[in-house]
Amino acid sequence: MATVELEAIGIVKRYGPLVANDHIDLSVLRGEVHAVMGENGAGKSTLMSILYGMQPPDEGSIILRGAEMHYRSALDAIGAGMGMVHQAFKLFNSLSVWENVVYGMEPTRAGLIDRKKAAADVAALAARYRLLVDPNAIVGKLSVGVRQRVEILKALYRDARVLILDEPTAVLTPQERDGLFDVIRNLTADDRTILFVTHKLHEVMAITDRVTVLRDGRVVERMVTKETSAREIIRAMTGRAVNLKVEKGPSQPGAVVLAARGLTVGADGGKPVVDHVDLDVRAGEIVGIAGVAGNGQTELIEALTGLRIPDSGTVTLRGKPVTALDVERHRDAGLAYIPEDRATTGTALPASAADNLAMGFQRHAPLSRSGLLDGKAITAHARDLIARFGVKIGSEKLPVKTLSGGNLQKIVVARELSHTAPLLIAEQPTRGVDVGAIEFIHGQLVAERDKGRAVLLVSAELTEIMALADRILVMFDGRILAEVPAAEATEETLGLLMAGRVAEAA
Amino acid sequence: MMGGFITPFLINSAVQAITPILLAALAGTLCGRVGVFNMAMEGQLLVGAFAAVVGSFYTGSALGGVIVAIVATVGFSLILAYGATVFRGDSVVICIGMNLLASGLTAYLLRQMFGVSGTFSDPGIVGLEKIRIAAINTIPWIGWIFSRQTAITWLAWILTAIVTIVMFRTPLGLRLRGVGEDASAAETMGIDVTRYRVVTVLVAGALTGLGGAQLSLGTVSIFSEDMSAGRGWIAVVAVMLGRNHPLWAALACVLFGLADAFSVRLQGQGLPNQLTDVVPYVVTLIALVISHRRRRSRVSETITAHA
């Protein structure tokens, strides 16, 4: 019989009228991988921050290896053997791997940092759990997957017995993800316990032993992974059956809407970030760009949308050359754009939902009359979109910074889809959005395709690309490495291509 | 020709002139490393210079002046230390306020305490002693540079070395650098970011206090209104040129000191001083532009390395 490593009993956390955690009981066994699942706003993050000592619970207790814990800060939790890898890494990019790992617990000799010992300790720890990483490398130059290993090393250096992994695979290639799963197995073999917070069902099925599902701040289900199914977990998370597969018929591609030829960005500093990219997107099709973040997708989209003027090459939109034109002229020529980052580029956070939804429409009737904005029309426009897209917001006058990530994304999607432009570029349209909202956004994108729009989809999420795209372009190192028809794409081939391994994928 | 142009006195005074700028630049470097942009060094030097004269005048000793200068600037620096951290103010706004306050406050106190405006000089102000090293005093260059300097000048260079070692070789330094690079990451590692910042800004205040004391007691033993005369701003530039690295910032200070000495020399050649006064600033501007261009090309290299 396995022993209980970590227990949370009756955890309650309130933020004003909102009950984020409502009497949550959680029991985690030593050496298991325990998934904590739930939609956005279900209370996962709150629970994890309480378990990690970042905030105290209003009620309830935390019991770690049989002893009740009263954390004053994360430092107490770390001291008690908790570790956490945050979704947004907490690393110092200009410092080396070993400096990041020993930070705050530096080995010293005569008052100075014992660099040799520090680097050796980190190397030994890395070897023990097969976390391949060079202790002397500068963190900022490492790939995302390796940075994650540095985060794990940080926790292990402090001898974390329980490791919380918050959405750990969001930024990884399938191969990197498999590497992480190997590391997780090494850790549990060493009797360390993993709390795995995620949205992704297939990963839960692949790596976890048990699942606790949260909904609206409460535990709705506790399951043993082997005895359940993805469908059942979804039902527990959303309270209904969600359509996992996107329903769509075959595409009927029409005329070319967006064409890029020899597009090159960033050639001045040596190797280009976007390297002679050719690409066509036709009306009535969804073209997906797959790739690990940082392989030039962002820059490519910037060049296609007019946010950045390419160093060479051409972009035409419906036959009109737009290469050197600004964003506004791109939009006039027929572009709608869901940007990658909803909080900084997608919306103006302090502005109201009504203003955010009116953006891009402000120069023309009906929202603008003889150069002045029409407040009534803006309100009506906002109310209409909020209702149609099911945005959960008290009033269109509220600033959008009060919205959850999923609702904020809906604001962006609603606005861009209401521009009836022939080309839609959607960059990571469902990043950090919960299952219900993903289903909705996916349905909308397919509906737009069927209306005859050309859709260019960029996503780091392979399942999303595979579910939506009619053709898949794999981007690696600034180039389009391959084009794969959606029907022939498998996660494995795409994963190999995303890692630049063309020969193995063929 | 060199002999006519570069005199022992010129070199010696250039080294003296660098000291307050160097100390202010070290202060700025420390603050920059913990993520507080300090551009109040102009005001801090001025407060230090004034307090040093007050201290020296009333205690009758230069050391007394130095101590009062340190205490006063540390107190003055509390504005930035707490304003930019606990009260979450914008450091640029705070620093502009501090510079204006220092200028007005010292002029006001000068009138109130000594009944003079403009310049206060009095035999009662004891200046800093110049340490004359007999063994090397007359040796060209070495003697000109190292002999007949104040203890503060010596201390400034020793502190440059100490700050460098602490910054890059000790746990404290690693933590400071982490705080400046990513405060939230440092916080998750159990670092009290606010405390590190407050203490660092106050230590930086002490350094500028020393610099101020050198300014008013190091050469002339007087205080005159706004006598920091842009040195604090030059230090801000040195910090930026040195990218918060104490040694590079020190090098930038030396460059400025040489340019300053050169301009004094040009004046001696009969050029109008309005023109020659510009030289150090032109040198600074050129250095800023060059460094900026280098940085830009380096940034594009890293971006390419990432792709």
How many CA atoms, within 13 angstroms, populate the side-chain half-sphere of residue A182? Answer: 12
Contact B82, B75 (CB under 8 A): no
B177 interface with A at CB cutoff 8 Å: yes
Q: Which two tokens stand for residue B281?
A: 């600033």
> What pLDDT score was predicted for residue A336?
94
Answer whether B175 sits within 8 Å of A295, measured CB to CB. Answer: no
> What pLDDT score was predicted for residue A267?
66
Q: Which two tokens stand for residue A475?
A: 């981007």
Q: Which of A392, A399, A404, A415 is nearest to A353 (CA)?
A: A399
A141 interface with B at CB cutoff 8 Å: yes
Answer whether A95 sits within 8 Å of B178, measured CB to CB. Answer: yes
Q: How far apart are CA B20 and CA B28, in angstroms?
A: 12
For A163, the enclosing helix (H) or strand (E) is strand A162-166
Return the residue matching tokens 């005074």.
Answer: B13
Asked whether the predicted pLDDT for residue B13 surpasses 60, the reply is yes
A90 interface with B at CB cutoff 8 Å: yes
B295 C-beta neighbours (distance < 10 Å), count: 10
- Residue A486's φ and ψ, nearest 5 degrees, are -55, -35
Q: How far apart are CA B181 and CA A272, in angstroms?
A: 28
Q: How confident is the model at residue B296 (pLDDT cuts 50, 70, 90)?
A: low
B-contacting residues in A 271-310 (Cβ below 8 Å): 271-273, 294-296
pLDDT per position in chain A (506 positions), as tens?
579 999 999 999 988 777 889 999 999 999 999 999 887 678 888 899 999 998 999 999 999 999 999 999 888 999 999 999 988 889 999 999 999 999 999 999 999 999 999 999 999 999 999 888 999 999 988 888 889 999 999 999 999 999 999 988 877 777 888 889 999 999 999 999 999 998 777 888 899 999 999 988 899 999 999 998 877 887 787 766 555 677 788 888 999 999 999 999 986 666 788 999 999 999 999 999 998 777 888 889 999 999 989 999 999 999 999 998 998 899 989 999 999 888 888 899 899 999 999 988 888 878 888 888 898 999 999 999 999 888 888 888 889 887 877 788 889 999 999 888 999 999 988 876 777 788 888 999 999 999 999 999 998 778 888 889 999 999 988 899 999 998 888 888 888 888 777 777 66
Return the residue matching tokens 């050029």.
Answer: B271
For A412, the enclosing helix (H) or strand (E) is helix A405-418
pLDDT tens digits, residue range B232-284? 999 999 999 899 999 999 999 998 888 887 887 787 788 887 888 788 778 87
B183 interface with A at CB cutoff 8 Å: no
- Cβ-based neighbours of B161, under 8 Å, separated by 6 or more: none
> What pLDDT score was predicted for residue B71?
98
Nearest chain B CA: its distance from A371 CA (Å): 37
Answer whether A141 sits within 8 Å of B306, measured CB to CB. Answer: yes
Return the residue matching tokens 């099709």.
Answer: A285
Nearest chain B CA: its distance from A74 CA (Å): 7
A95 to chain B: which residues are within 8 Å by CB?
174, 177-178, 181
B115 C-beta neighbours (distance < 10 Å), count: 8
> What pLDDT score was predicted for residue A241?
57
Q: Which two tokens stand for residue A4?
A: 């209980």
**Helices B62-83/B91-114 angle, 10° precision:** 150
> In angstroms, how far is CA B132 from the centroid of its own chain?
24
Q: Which of A32, A25, A12, A7 is nearest to A163 (CA)?
A: A32
Q: Which of A73, A90, A102 sits opposite B185 (nearest CB)?
A: A90
Q: Which of A75, A90, A271 sits opposite B184 (nearest CB)?
A: A90
Strand A335-338 versus strand A423-427 pairing type: parallel
Answer whether B190 sits within 8 Å of A73, measured CB to CB. Answer: yes
B174 interface with A at CB cutoff 8 Å: yes
B190 to chain A: which residues are within 8 Å by CB?
73-75, 78, 104
- Core vs surface per residue B21-55: b (16+ CB within 10 A) or e: bbbbbbbbbbbbbbbbbbbbbbbbbbbbbbbbbbb
Omega prior to B8 cis, within 30 of 0: no
Answer whether B305 sits within 8 Å of A141, measured CB to CB. Answer: yes
- Core vs surface per residue A406-424: b (16+ CB within 10 A) or e: bbbbbbbbbbbbbeebbbb
Size of interface A-B (CB pairs under 8 A): 82
Nearest chain B CA: its distance from A54 CA (Å): 9
> What pLDDT score was predicted for residue A395?
86
Nearest chain B CA: its distance from A341 CA (Å): 19
For B213, the enclosing helix (H) or strand (E) is helix B193-217
pLDDT tens digits, residue range B109-160? 999 999 999 999 999 999 999 998 888 888 888 888 888 899 999 999 999 9
Query: What ranges do the domains of chain B cover?
Result: 2-129+136-229
Total count of residues recorded for chain B: 307
Q: Where are the alpha helices (DSSP H) in A251-326?
A: 297-305
Answer whether A92 sits within 8 Å of B184, measured CB to CB. Answer: no
> What pLDDT score was predicted for residue B307?
33
3-class secondary structure, B136: coil
A371 interface with B at CB cutoff 8 Å: no
Q: Which two tokens stand for residue B118?
A: 């403009």
Q: How far apart are CA A166 and CA A173, in angstroms?
A: 17
Q: How confident is the model at residue B204 (pLDDT cuts 50, 70, 90)?
A: very high
> Whole-structure pTM over 0.90, yes or no?
no
Strand A286-290 versus strand A471-476 pairing type: parallel
Contact A72, A53 (CB under 8 A): yes
Contact A263, A276 (CB under 8 A): yes
B274 interface with A at CB cutoff 8 Å: no
Total count of residues recorded for chain A: 506
B295 interface with A at CB cutoff 8 Å: no
Q: Which of A91, A108, A296 sits opposite B171 (nearest CB)?
A: A108
Contact A188, A161 (CB under 8 A): no
Domains identified in chain A and CATH numbers:
1-81+162-170+191-239 (3.40.50.300), 256-340+422-437+451-505 (3.40.50.300)
Contact A394, A328 (CB under 8 A): no
B192 interface with A at CB cutoff 8 Å: no
A141 to chain B: which residues are within 8 Å by CB?
302, 305-306
Q: Where are the alpha helices (DSSP H) in B127-192?
A: 142-146, 151-169, 171-181, 183-188
Q: Which of B76, B66, B73, B81 is nearest to B34 (CA)?
A: B81
Q: What is the mean pLDDT of residues B33-60?
A: 97
